[in-house]
Structure formats: structure tokens, C-alpha cells
């Protein structure tokens, strides 16, 4: 996933403009460029070797670029869009933004599976030995866990209950186990639904030994991986778990997105906070204190939801695709930097 740079240094075969330099100048410039770009020597070292000032070395290297004696080519894997990634990172003030090429046949499909593969590589970069990795429920995080092939030794904890307790073994519980297996660390899954009928039932479950043990790790999480859902059928886990009456109620509050059972309006403000009392999930304030929160979400249908969650300040990094990125780059006023993680709702 890392970008690679290929530096081509040519001598007498340089472009026509470079031929204005004499042969001795060309040979010296090519040699200096080779030392600097290919061998990694400093300008001071090159100056000492050639018996000139470091200022002359700087001028020679600049001239070599101007006259096409040196050509620098930056390449990233074909599926990554470096330009969109950098633009998106800058627009939202993110720590990392990785934009993946959208599959040609999946324009309307949210969260293409290749997002999970790229996110798995990103976690391999971000997680350090001794970290606590938190995984929230979501199709994209499940794809990510399945694609993991390297992680340093770390503890892995589940941050939310599951969409359907009957599918736990094939969902987020298995994702937590898979990540722990790859890292060689301890796993702390949660065998409970994300949404309960009432607050009392949710509170009782939180006090159960296994679930309480997982909750104890929430304040220790250093890297978290979350999914984002938009407020429509099939695109939001929470939306699909609620009754028609409840959906209408939260829609009337202006909900545009959900993440880990927390609801957000288009400006990134949390709405419908009462829903959290019925949920087995990490608290929003706990997410805000986690140093690195990586969201995995893509597709045009999720673009508005991604924008809303990014404006909340809860997410520090994003893995998305080109179809969502193109919408995000024109989504209303420029948001405040995500790394300014103050609650948009105020204290």
C-alpha cells in the first residue's frame, strides 16, 4: 500500500534542453544526482566528494531537474488514488485518508470489499506492539478482519454488540478472534445484540461478566476500526433493527448517519442520544479519546453519511472509494479539521 518513487537518472541521453550543458557538466550533474537520489547521500557529503560548496550542489541538482536530466516518477498501486487521498485528507483535516478505486460494476454498492483489504494493510501500519485494537460491528470491519495477514502483538476488543446474536460466529465476534489470532494477542468478544428492547435489559447485560470485562478495555483502546451507515434500509444496521415508528421518530430529529449505534445529523451533531441507553456499544466520549479511529465506508449512497460523521470529530482516518470521495470533496462548506476533536454539541 506504500507509495514507491522511481528516480530515473540519465546522462548524455537526457532531453534536448539538457544538452546545453557541456559534457563535463552533464557527467558531474548525473553523478551528483545519482549520489543524492539513488544513494541517499546528503548535499554536504556530495560537496565534500566533488570539492565544491553545498550551494553549488543544490544548484546543480535544481538544474538537473529543470533540464530533464533527472526524472522523478511517483507510483502507487493502481487501485489507490493518491491525489484524491491527499485532497480528502486536507479537506477534512484527517490524519490519514486512503481512497481506493471504485469497482466499475459497483457504483451503487456501499462498502466494496476491497476497502476492507486496504484497511487491513493500514491497520498493519498503525497498530504497534502493546496497543489495544477495538473493532466495532460492520460489514466493512468484518471484511477488514478477514483480510488481515499481519499485526504486531496486541489486545483486540469488540466495541459493539452484534447485529444478530445468531450470526455472531460469522460476524464481529469472528472478526475479533481473527485479528487476535493474527496478532497473537488476547481477544475480548461480546456475545450480545447491539440493540436491546429497553434500557434496563441493556444495563443488565453490561453487568454480565464477559461483557463487563470487554467494557473495561474501552478506555484503553489506542486504535479503533469502525463502520458508517446512512439512514436508509440496508445501509444502516441500527435503522434496520428499529420499528417503523422508531425510525420515523429519529428521522424527525434530522438523523443522517450512524456509527456504532450513535446517530448524527448533517452537521455532525449527535441526535437521539436516548438510543444509546438501549445499546451495547462504546460511548461517543470514549471514541473521542481514542488516539486513532479509522472509519471504513464507501459508495455514493454513503457519501453524505460519511461527511456527517467526519464533521463530528470522532474519526481521525478514513478508508473510502473514489465514488464517495468525489461527493465528499464538494459536500458543503469546508469542515473544521477532524483532529480538532472537540464535541460539536459543546460541553
| Span 92-129, pLDDT tens digits | 999 999 999 887 655 556 667 788 889 999 999 999 99
pLDDT in tens, 235-279: 777 888 888 898 889 999 999 999 999 999 999 999 999 998 999
323 and 280 belong to one structural domain:
yes
238 and 122 belong to one structural domain:
yes
In a domain, 61, yes or no: yes
299 and 252 belong to one structural domain:
yes
Find the mean pLDDT for residues 149-158.
95
pTM given for the model = 0.76
In a domain, 342, yes or no: no
135 and 263 belong to one structural domain:
yes
pLDDT in tens, 172-225: 789 999 999 999 999 999 988 899 999 999 999 999 998 999 999 999 999 999
pLDDT band at 12 (very low <50, low <70, confident <90, very high): very low
191 and 323 belong to one structural domain:
yes
pLDDT band at 8 (very low <50, low <70, confident <90, very high): low
63 and 84 belong to one structural domain:
no
96 and 199 belong to one structural domain:
yes
Interatomic CA distance for residues 236 and 238, integer angstroms: 5
49 and 88 belong to one structural domain:
no
Interatomic CA distance for residues 328 and 81, integer angstroms: 15
Number of continuous H segments (helices) and E segments (strands) in the chain: 14, 13
Tracing cell 494477542 back to the chain, one arrives at: 185
In a domain, 341, yes or no: no
Rg (CA), the chain: 25
What's 164's domain CATH number? 3.40.50.1360
Interatomic CA distance for residues 37 and 98, integer angstroms: 27
Q: Average per-residue pLDDT in the chain?
A: 85
What is the number of structural domains in the chain?
Answer: 2
223 and 197 belong to one structural domain:
yes
169 and 284 belong to one structural domain:
yes
Q: What is the extent of the structural domain holding 198?
A: 80-330
Of the candidates 290, 346, 302, 347, the one whose C-alpha atom is nearest the C-alpha of residue 328 is: 302
**DSSP code, position 167:** G
In a domain, 2, yes or no: no
In a domain, 339, yes or no: no
Final residue of a domain: which of 67, 94, 120? 67
Distances in whole angstroms, Cα of residue 93 to Cα of each of 41, 88, 185, 316, 322: 34, 8, 32, 8, 18
Amino acid at each position: 500500500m506504500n507509495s514507491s518513487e522511481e528516480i530515473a537518472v540519465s546522462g548524455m541521453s537526457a532531453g534536448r534542453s539538457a544538452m546545453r550543458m557541456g559534457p563535463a557538466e552533464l557527467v558531474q550533474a548525473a553523478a551528483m544526482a545519482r549520489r543524492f537520489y539513488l544513494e541517499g547521500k546528503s548535499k554536504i557529503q556530495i560537496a565534500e566528494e566533488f570539492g565544491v560548496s553545498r550551494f553549488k550542489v543544490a544548484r546543480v541538482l535544481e538544474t538537473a531537474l529543470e533540464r530533464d536530466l533527472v526524472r522523478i516518477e511517483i507510483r502507487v498501486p493502481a487501485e489507490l488514488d493518491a491525489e484524491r487521498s491527499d485532497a480528502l485528507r486536507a479537506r477534512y483535516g484527517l490524519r490519514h485518508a486512503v481512497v481506493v478505486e471504485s469497482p466499475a460494476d459497483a457504483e451503487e454498492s456501499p462498502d466494496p470489499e476491497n476497502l476492507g483489504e486496504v484497511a487491513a494493510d493500514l491497520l498493519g501500519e498503525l497498530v504497534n506492539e502493546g496497543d489495544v485494537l477495538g473493532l466495532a460491528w460492520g460489514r466493512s470491519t468484518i471484511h477488514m478482519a478477514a483480510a488481515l495477514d499481519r499485526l504486531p502483538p496486541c489486545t483486540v476488543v469488540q466495541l459493539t454488540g452484534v447485529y444478530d446474536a445468531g450470526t455472531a460466529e460469522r460476524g464481529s465476534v469472528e472478526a475479533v478472534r481473527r485479528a487476535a489470532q493474527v496478532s497473537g494477542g488476547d481477544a475480548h468478544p461480546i456475545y450480545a445484540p447491539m440493540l436491546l428492547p429497553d434500557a434496563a435489559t441493556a444495563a443488565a447485560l453490561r453487568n454480565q461478566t464477559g461483557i463487563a470485562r470487554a467494557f473495561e478495555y474501552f478506555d484503553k483502546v489506542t486504535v479503533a476500526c469502525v463502520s458508517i451507515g446512512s439512514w436508509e434500509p440496508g445501509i444502516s444496521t441500527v435503522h434496520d433493527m428499529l420499528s417503523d415508528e422508531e425510525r420515523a421518530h429519529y428521522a424527525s430529529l434530522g438523523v443522517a448517519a450512524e456509527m456504532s449505534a450513535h446517530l448524527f445529523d448533517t452537521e455532525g451533531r449527535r441526535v437521539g442520544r436516548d438510543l444509546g441507553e438501549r445499546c451495547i456499544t462504546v460511548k461517543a466520549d470514549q471514541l473521542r479519546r481514542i488516539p486513532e479511529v479509522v472509519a471504513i465506508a464507501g459508495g455514493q449512497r454513503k457519501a453524505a453519511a460519511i461527511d456527517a460523521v467526519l464533521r463530528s470529530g470522532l474519526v481521525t482516518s478514513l478508508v473510502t472509494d473514489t465514488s464517495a470521495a468525489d461527493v465528499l470533496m464538494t459536500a458543503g462548506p469546508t469542515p473544521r479539521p477532524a483532529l480538532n476533536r472537540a464535541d460539536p454539541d459543546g460541553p
